[in-house]
Structure 1
Amino acid sequence: MGDQIVFFDVETTTPARAGRKFWLLEFGAILVCPRKLAEVDSYCTLIRPGDLSMVSPKRFSGITREAVAAAPMFEEVADRIFEILNGRVWAGHNIQRFDCPRIREAFADIGRPAPEPIGMIDSLAVLNRGFGKRAGDLKMATLASYFGLGQQKHRSLDDVRMNLEVLKHCATVLLLESSLPQILPHRDTGSLEMVTRSRANGRSCGEEASRKSPPTSLGNHRAVPYKKGKLGKVMERAKDALHGAQRTRPLNTLLKHSRLLLR
């Protein structure tokens, strides 16, 4: 069981104000073989919330208040949901912040322990680190539009299948970029890296040129690199810095040798 990844998604009511309860309206999941990225099983169900007045049909495609009213309560489908989720790797988009807490809350409401994953793949966090903001805000609808996968329907089973396809597309792009970094630089870091390298190369070339190039005007070249006035200030600063550390050594002798070196 642990060798399968379960992609899941929940649809919920939208609380009218902060602090109000989220009610589950739909749960959908697909079991995926990680070696082939192939769907091997699926499950989806509408769920009747404790408060039907919180159902907003406008937000969901094909979900009506009548259909939700006829759906099973969460405790009636809890066994099946527990069986699908428990002991597997969980995957989904923004599940750490939204879907996982809603699942735990639903099981807590019926006085049962919630299922536990053996690993977690939150595609929002993964794509934020690896794919960057090239596709915009990284919402599922934006990613689907970016890859030409159609519109997000906000239905659980459709959304998890779209999530898997988005990950496949992102992985393919990143594989191509890592295989040919000079030809297909990463859009987010490639330009920055090129600018950084360019500046570094410019500094290196400038430093190399300053070491190798002769002075532009021999008439202005000085054999001694310090003006006499500045030399006095340098010696005064050196005298102050060495005063405490060189008590056992005559400071005048040390300064005398320093003047010889600077000439």
Structure 2
Amino acid sequence: MEASVQSTEIVFFDLETTVPGRTGQGFCILEFGAIVVCPRKLIELESYSTLIRPKDLSIVALRSSRCDGITRETVANAPEFEEVAEKIFGTLNGRIWAGHNIQRFDCVRIKEAFAQINRPPPLSAGMIDSLGILAEKFGKRAGNMKMASLAEYFRLGQQKHRSLDDVRMNLEVLKHCATVLFLESSLPSILNGSWHTPPTITTRSRSQGKLHCREEPYSRKSPTTSSAGYQRTVPYTRGSLGKMTERVKNLLCKAQGNQPLNNLLKHSHSLLR
């Protein structure tokens, strides 16, 4: 169920959680992070993040291995979910929700957490799940569709798997993907055929000095930490895409007003004429 539109602002949010254990314990939220974004300029207006202490601290040992920065010690003095629920509700309720795989994961966890404290959950005014949008429109050219792979493809740095850092990276990935799609829609006969090749990773063997190439499989798991011994092939001159992103973003802001990002992707061709 969606809330009536009270604001045209978009809120990108992300959760870090424990992983369910054999004891039957479900997911527990360990961190919430969000940024509020103006859809006309794609700039961050405000941010909020907080660590969250679960009722049973012992389950933090079952956290996802990717959340290396969140330990039992770091959440020991954090507020429980009930103490920050009002702030989280105010951050999310009535806004357009955005994030990577939020429909299948983050939204479900938020609803569960509010149910556990007997409070109604926040409602969205719209939904932008970048995993679904990019899987359909950008495809697997960056390997799998995990945020870490997309960020690496565009040379945006390594994903930190902390909520606030991840949502900011999510916004930058969307900007870059949208720019590529805009460019392809302007010259489809030229760019579509050459930019849609699967990405390869070139590795160098230290012992033999030989190069080996492999294609990344499409999987739902995040890739492991990047090795210093390989370099991903990218379809553009390094540094040029950032400048083009800003130019297209300015056109985008003037032409599209308050429409969410998923609508912007559908009208990329007209914006570049």
Q: TM-score, normalised by structure 1?
A: 0.69
The total of aligned residue pairs comes to 191
1:171-190 matches, cutoff 5 A: 171-185=178-192
Correspondence 1:98 to 2:88:
no
Give the SS at the match of 2:190: coil
**Residue 184 to residue 101, structure 1, CA distance change in 2 (3 Å):** same
Gapped runs of 5+ residues in structure 2? 1-5, 198-273
Distance 2:132 2:7 in 1: 22
Alpha-carbon deviation of 1:19?
5.1
Using a 3 Å threshold, how does the CA distance of structure 1 residues 5 and 63 change in structure 2: closer, same or farther? same
* Residue in structure 2 matched with residue 249 of structure 1 by the alignment: none
Greater helix share, structure number: 1
Out of 72, 76, 85, which is 1:78 matched to? 85
- Any unmatched runs of 5+ in structure 1? 191-263
Cα distance in structure 2, aligned partners of 1:182 and 1:18: 56
Question: Structure 1: how far apart are the matches of 2:13 and 2:154?
Answer: 21
Gap change, CA 1:104 and 1:188, over 3 Å in 2: farther
Taking only aligned residues, the RMSD between alpha carbons, in angstroms, comes to 2.0
1:36 aligns with one of 31, 38, 41? 41
CA gap of 1:145–1:67, structure 2 versus 1, over 3 A, is same
How far the C-alpha of 1:91 sits from its partner, in A, is 0.2
Q: 1:48 pairs with 34, 53, 59, which one?
A: 53
Is 1:112 matched with 2:119?
yes
* 1: CA distance, partners of 2:68 / 2:40: 33
Runs of 4+ with deviation above 3 angstroms = 17-20, 56-59, 186-190
Identity %: 69
CA distance in 2, matches of 1:156, 1:187: 35
TM-score by length of 2: 0.66
Please say if residues 141 and 196 of structure 2, whose CA atoms lie closer than 8 Å, have aligned partners that are also in contact.
no
Distance, in Å, in 1 between the alignment partners of 2:94 and 2:23 is 33
How many Å separate the matches in 2 of 1:126 and 1:186? 21
1:151 to 139, 153, 158: 158
Q: Specify the code of the residue in structure 2 equivalent to 1:91.
A: A
Match of 1:259 in 2: none
> Counterpart of 1:15?
20
Task: Report the equivalent of 2:267.
Answer: none
CA contact (8 A) 2:36 2:46 kept: yes
Paired residue secondary structure (1:134):
coil
1:54 Cα deviation from its structure 2 partner: 1.6
Deviation, 1:187, is 5.7
Q: Which has the higher strand share?
A: 2
Give, in angstroms, the shift of residue 60 of structure 1: 1.9
Aligned-pair CA distance for 1:182: 2.1
